[in-house]
Amino acid sequence: SIVQVEGMKERTILINGFSKSYAMTGWRLGYATGPKEIIAQMTKIHQYAIMCAPTTSQYAAVEALAHGDEDVAKMRESYNQRRRFLLHKFDELGMTCFEPQGAFYVFPSIKRFNMTSEEFATRLLEEQKTAIVPGTAFGASGEGYVRVSYAYSMERLKEAISRIEKFVRSLS
């Protein structure tokens, strides 16, 4: 984290949550830390914008922090296996992608297929009943890429990559 760099702790606001690290999406619980004077001002705004996090979410977060490390380690290993699987499969298909350092998505390149990311995603959905996200959903620089999530079971990922492979082979 940047707060570990000398001189940055007093100049950094760290905002985080439990959605990805503890698989608590939908609980809508997060936190912020930083210089006291800035956090004090953030608290004033927060008090009038949001009442408070639900009590059940707070209890769940306490439980996750106190006892969730083993589960997080298991999830991390599972995500790593799925990420490596997809990277290997996309590489075999000639769809290069950078190895992600966070989250659970890969962004394979579709540039060699001479179609927009929107067209690629739409055709894949129509022809193989497999949904991915066009890279342009994340801005103009996403053109030429698609986003594929690996937050699914290995079984579902194998089925999805099989369908993607059929689609890609049909383009050749």
- In order of their start, the domains of the chain are 2-67 (no CATH), 70-171 (3.90.1150.10)
Task: State how far the Cα of 154 lies from the Cα of 165, in Å rounded to an integer.
Answer: 16
Question: pLDDT (tens digit, 9 = 90+) per residue, 26-43?
Answer: 888 889 999 999 999 998
Task: State how far the Cα of 22 lies from the Cα of 74, in Å rounded to an integer.
Answer: 11
Task: State how far the Cα of 40 lies from the Cα of 54, in Å rounded to an integer.
Answer: 21
Task: State how far the Cα of 11 lies from the Cα of 30, in Å rounded to an integer.
Answer: 20
Q: What pLDDT, on a 0 to 100 scale, did the predictor assign at position 1?
A: 80
Evaluate if residue 165 carries a pLDDT over 80. Answer: yes
pLDDT band at 22 (very low <50, low <70, confident <90, very high): confident
Question: pLDDT (tens digit, 9 = 90+) per residue, 78-111?
Answer: 999 999 999 999 999 999 998 988 789 999 999 9
Alpha helices in 50-153 (DSSP H): 55-67, 69-92, 117-128
Exposure class string for 88-121: b at 16+ Cβ within 10 A, else e: ebbeeeebebeeeeeebbbbbbbeebeeebeebb
Q: Taking residues 9-32, what's their average pLDDT? A: 87
